[in-house]
A and B are shown apart, each in its own frame.
Chain A
Amino acid sequence: MANTGKTPSSMVAFCTRPWHSLAALLAVLVFATFAWGFYLLDHYKDDGFFSGYDDLSISGFLLRDVAGIPNSQRLLSLVPPAVVGVSDRGVNATVLASGAIVGANGYVLTTLHSVASLPDIDVHVRTTTGVKRYPAQIVKMEPKHDLALLKMRTGDRFLFFVMAGTQAMPVATPVFGFGYGVRGGTVFREGRIVGNNISLTTEASTISHLLASDAVYSWEQNGGPLVNIAGELVGISIAVTSPSGQTQGYAVPAHVIATHFQDVVKFKIAPPPQVPPAAVQQQPPASTMGTLVAAPYAAAVAMPRQQLPPQQQQQQPSAQQPASAPWWAMARAQVAREGGNIGMNVAAPAGVSPAAGALPVMPAVPVLAVDADHGFELSIGGYQVGNIVGLALLALISGVVGGMMTMGGGVIQVAGMMIFFGYGMYLIRPVAYLTNVFVYGAAAIRNDRAGLVSWSNVRALAPWGVAGVVIGYFIGNAIDDAIVAIILGLFALLMSLKGLHEIFYDKKEKDILVSANAESAEAGDAAVDELLGEKKARAVTPESADHTRNAILGLPMGLVSGILGISGGVVEVPLQRFFGGVSLKNAIANSSVLVFWASVGGAAVAFTHGIGTGLIDWPSPLSLALIMVPGAYVGGLIGARLMKVLPLIALRWIYTAVMLATSIKLLSVS
């Protein structure tokens, strides 16, 4: 103790020194340590220190398999398990597009137009036991780049692509276009990058920042991977029909993909191409490959070498041969028969294509065009700062709307995540449940402190609410996102109508509001107590007496919440008021508690079922919720404050306008 014992009792007492700031500093340092640790956990794939981690990436296999520089033949033998086909769910459904596995736990990228109109999606994967079909759903859409991220509904692990660095992709870089052929074979062509940073105007939209490549020649490659010599994903191919009827090949580059989807998938971004010789030597020898990966996939890698028909390996028709035209006609016919419409990228007549029939080489573009729009943004935990702000803002707005009128916040949140961020309902639902757990938990505590919650009522209804949300969750999973969007739009429409009603029949409503305010909380409770026979026979099975009534009061809210991911207060408050005969304030208070319990149930089911079946990964919904919860909470407080400050009529106009806009947007999109 002598060496550091500088504090004899005669010295200045500890508490008289500036220890506060020191303690705060230490706390920050400890916090920073944890933050760093979690960052490392999150990004260990990018950190050079953890190079020896076990991975299922194609490029990892290429390096591991044979030392030295991989050639195209080796690519052809390794890549196919990560190239998938995407089809409708029918028994004989034709593969409509290719896709690329970009995450070991079953994330698939493909073109959005290929899957947008499919009610159910199946992904065809080559495995050791032949082609296996996995049900999949859209996790996130990015219409601007015609991309869709799918998640296969399974806990299996897959060989996947590492993202290549494509910010400055030189023209003439050799690339390999892969596709999943109609009969399950591999469509493959070696080519080059012939243009970069291209904007393409199709009939549907304009897609920017594209690469052009002559390695994409067939419709079957649509959505498939464009791969470089190291087996890294350069881009997702888009095949476009030029006005003259020829197929032109483009690709959405990897850095654009990473920018838009890294909030869901933690992509492994390839290190710079110069692999130091030492790193290659450190790779385990080929003989240990089987022990390094999950058994089936070690075999899956070996399999295609025997199974791939030799003629397909040689299948490299000339660029102008419209090899897939018959297939395309067939696929279209099939989808049309089922009432759908298969998207097709057709270049607009006044497109950028400089010469008909030839691939657009952009002479004006410098060879090293650096895309400054993507990938240079600061990102935190995989989220771009812009996205974080956007999500927080959305949560804030939904909170304000919810706090203002005590309903409709959930609709804004879910609709916003769907429309502006392109997330699928499978991801939105758990996020929404979690957000509601926090927001309504806080509201429930507030309401309980104010003595507004009639617990006897709530206790009887809560199980029904939870049951409803569980049933709703599974119903919601079974139905299509488009249908959910329509229902959601109808709800928003209903709410805007209600807003209008309140604006024009102000007098009457106001009376009720005032009387509800004037009534004490006990009066509401008394009414409920009376209705439930609480007063007279407290001990004699008061709650079980009326299951039908409880079910009517509790179940619909749960169902709505489960299917749509909204709080369900929209349904519950009127039910409580007009069917349960509770005053408005009590109705809102009771609903907040019910929503809380329903959301707890929903979150529990969504996470256990979702993770168990491979529907979701736990980090993405959790981190989304973490971003949104504070915004929603603060928004709720602001909304409640606005309710007191702004004139009621103005609030109602704002509310009605917002809801109307939401409903129009939702209904028009779907």
Chain B
Amino acid sequence: MRYEKCVPCSRTIGWVGLVVNIVLTAMKAFVGLVSGSQAMVVDTMYSAKDVVTSMLVIIGMSVSDKPLDEQHPYGHGKIEFVLSLIISVVFLLVTGYLLVHAIQILVDPERHRTPHIIALWAAVVAVAVNIFMYAYAKCVAAEVNSPMVRTLAKHSHSDATASAVVAGGIIGAHYLGMPWLDTAIAVFETLDLLYLGGGVFWDAYKGLMDRSIDTPLRGKIIALARSVEGVVEVKQLRSRHVGQEMLVEMVIGVDDALSVEEAHLICEAVKTEISRKLAHIGALHVSAEGCAKAAPASARRNAGSDDLVSELDG
């Protein structure tokens, strides 16, 4: 972060992105319907997806940050999964409808119509706006090192690509005498959107099913725990996502000659180590069990942890 201005910049970019994408969604939908461009209507879904994603992030920040209460002792994090699931289902249905519609038109040559030239104009404008947003978000992401803003930049980039493809299709339909090209691109883009939407759905589903966090990350946690002085082994590791956060429970093995007090101190040390080194740890529960043979911690430290992941995963 080299400039003072970067701080307000990083705070406003989320809202700027939301507003820009709402405007783009409206513009693409409007122009798509007026001009009769299938691809432009489908392209709307890209911007709509960004709008929804931004909103989910905002909701995620306000609702899932609500403090624990008696009814929700584990917090409100799962609201994000519930919303994502609902929205991704709606998204998939709409995209699926568009796909069916586009295919129906594609197979019926009589319905091939060259879209009005306004669609080309709108697509070019959308590309320009998205490139602008990409440059902006890229700068913010680099200066404040925010993964969320980096995602925004990535979305702007892919949106620009999608709109450029639409523009190409309309050029083809208009100037190369291929009126079917617009519809073909609509089919192609709906497939891409179905893939993207499927990813969102799968993530939400995994979150709701308390699926464990990714294997590499689990390996990292185990390695971190083992690096702590006094930890003999990681006996059990259970993890799940709640919203943006991870909840982790682990059982470590310590020398059974140690007192309860000493074991507790080791557990605390593990907690400190992990939450210091890893982001998004919502809750970390570490308990200790005695284990018969206490090998020197330094000897175990060098052992690869990857092979342990599978046997320890709970």
Residues on A close to B: CB < 8 A?
1, 4-9, 13-15, 19, 22-23, 26, 29-30, 33-34, 36-37, 40-41, 47, 49-50
B2 touches A13 (CB 8 A): yes
B41 to chain A, nearest CB (A): 13
Contacts A15-B3, A33-B31; A1 near B143 (Cβ below 8 A): no
A15 touches B9 (CB 8 A): yes
Residues on B close to A: CB < 8 A?
2-3, 5-6, 9, 23-24, 27, 30-31, 34-35, 116, 118, 121-122, 125, 128-129, 131-132, 134-136, 138-140, 142-143, 154, 157, 160
Q: A315–B9 Cα gap in the complex (Å)?
A: 81
Q: A425–B157 Cα gap in the complex (Å)?
A: 54
A29 touches B128 (CB 8 A): yes
B28 to chain A, nearest CB (A): 9
SS of A interface (majority): helix
Contacts of A49 in B (CB 8 A): 116
Contacts of B31 in A (CB 8 A): 33, 37
B27 touches A34 (CB 8 A): yes
B5 touches A15 (CB 8 A): yes
A23 touches B135 (CB 8 A): no
Contacts of A14 in B (CB 8 A): 135-136, 138-140
Q: A23–B20 Cα gap in the complex (Å)?
A: 11
Return the 3 tightest CB-CB contacts between A and B, nearest first.
A9-B142, A14-B139, A7-B138
Q: A33–B27 Cα gap in the complex (Å)?
A: 8
Contacts of B3 in A (CB 8 A): 13, 15
Residue of A nearest to B158 (CB): A1
B7 to chain A, nearest CB (A): 12
Contacts of B23 in A (CB 8 A): 30
Q: A516–B127 Cα gap in the complex (Å)?
A: 61
B121 touches A4 (CB 8 A): no
Contacts of B131 in A (CB 8 A): 4
B142 touches A7 (CB 8 A): yes
A1 touches B154 (CB 8 A): yes
Q: Mind listing 14 A-B residue pairs with CB under 8 Å?
A: A4-B134, A6-B135, A7-B135, A13-B6, A13-B139, A14-B138, A14-B139, A23-B132, A26-B125, A30-B24, A33-B121, A37-B30, A37-B34, A40-B35
A26 touches B118 (CB 8 A): no
Contacts of B27 in A (CB 8 A): 30, 33-34
A1 touches B135 (CB 8 A): no
A24 to chain B, nearest CB (A): 11
Q: A47–B36 Cα gap in the complex (Å)?
A: 14
Q: A6–B134 Cα gap in the complex (Å)?
A: 10
Residue of A nearest to B140 (CB): A14
Partner of B128, one of A8, A26, A34: A26
* Beyond A13-B2, A37-B118, 18 extra complex contacts between A and B, CB < 8 Å: A1-B157, A4-B131, A7-B138, A8-B142, A13-B3, A13-B139, A14-B135, A15-B3, A19-B132, A19-B136, A23-B132, A26-B129, A29-B129, A30-B24, A30-B27, A33-B31, A40-B118, A41-B34
B157 touches A34 (CB 8 A): no
Residue of A nearest to B125 (CB): A29
B138 touches A34 (CB 8 A): no
Residue of A nearest to B134 (CB): A4
Residue of A nearest to B24 (CB): A30
A97 to chain B, nearest CB (A): 40
Residue of B nearest to A23 (CB): B132
Residue of A nearest to B34 (CB): A37
B112 to chain A, nearest CB (A): 14
Contacts of A34 in B (CB 8 A): 27, 30
B136 touches A36 (CB 8 A): no
Residue of B nearest to A16 (CB): B3
A31 to chain B, nearest CB (A): 10
Q: A29–B125 Cα gap in the complex (Å)?
A: 7
Q: A127–B5 Cα gap in the complex (Å)?
A: 71
Residue of A nearest to B138 (CB): A7
Contacts of A15 in B (CB 8 A): 3, 5, 9, 139
Q: A199–B129 Cα gap in the complex (Å)?
A: 56
Partner of B118, one of A5, A22, A33: A33
A114 to chain B, nearest CB (A): 41
A33 touches B143 (CB 8 A): no
B9, B35, B138, most chain A CB atoms within 10 A: B138
Contacts of A1 in B (CB 8 A): 154, 157
Q: A33–B134 Cα gap in the complex (Å)?
A: 21
Contacts of A19 in B (CB 8 A): 132, 136
B139 touches A40 (CB 8 A): no
Q: A33–B23 Cα gap in the complex (Å)?
A: 11
Contacts of A23 in B (CB 8 A): 132
Q: A41–B36 Cα gap in the complex (Å)?
A: 12
B138 touches A33 (CB 8 A): no
Partner of A7, one of B9, B121, B139: B139
B5 touches A30 (CB 8 A): no
A107 to chain B, nearest CB (A): 25
B118 touches A36 (CB 8 A): yes
B121 touches A36 (CB 8 A): yes
Q: A49–B9 Cα gap in the complex (Å)?
A: 45
A10 to chain B, nearest CB (A): 9
Q: A1–B134 Cα gap in the complex (Å)?
A: 10
Contacts of B118 in A (CB 8 A): 33, 36-37, 40
Contacts of B121 in A (CB 8 A): 33, 36
Q: A147–B132 Cα gap in the complex (Å)?
A: 54
A190 to chain B, nearest CB (A): 40
Residue of B nearest to A41 (CB): B34
A30 touches B143 (CB 8 A): no
Residue of B nearest to A52 (CB): B113
Q: A341–B27 Cα gap in the complex (Å)?
A: 55
Q: A33–B5 Cα gap in the complex (Å)?
A: 32
Q: A47–B132 Cα gap in the complex (Å)?
A: 33
Contacts of B129 in A (CB 8 A): 26, 29-30
Contacts of B143 in A (CB 8 A): 9, 13
B44 to chain A, nearest CB (A): 13
Residue of A nearest to B150 (CB): A1
B122 touches A33 (CB 8 A): yes
A14, A34, A36, most chain B CB atoms within 10 A: A14
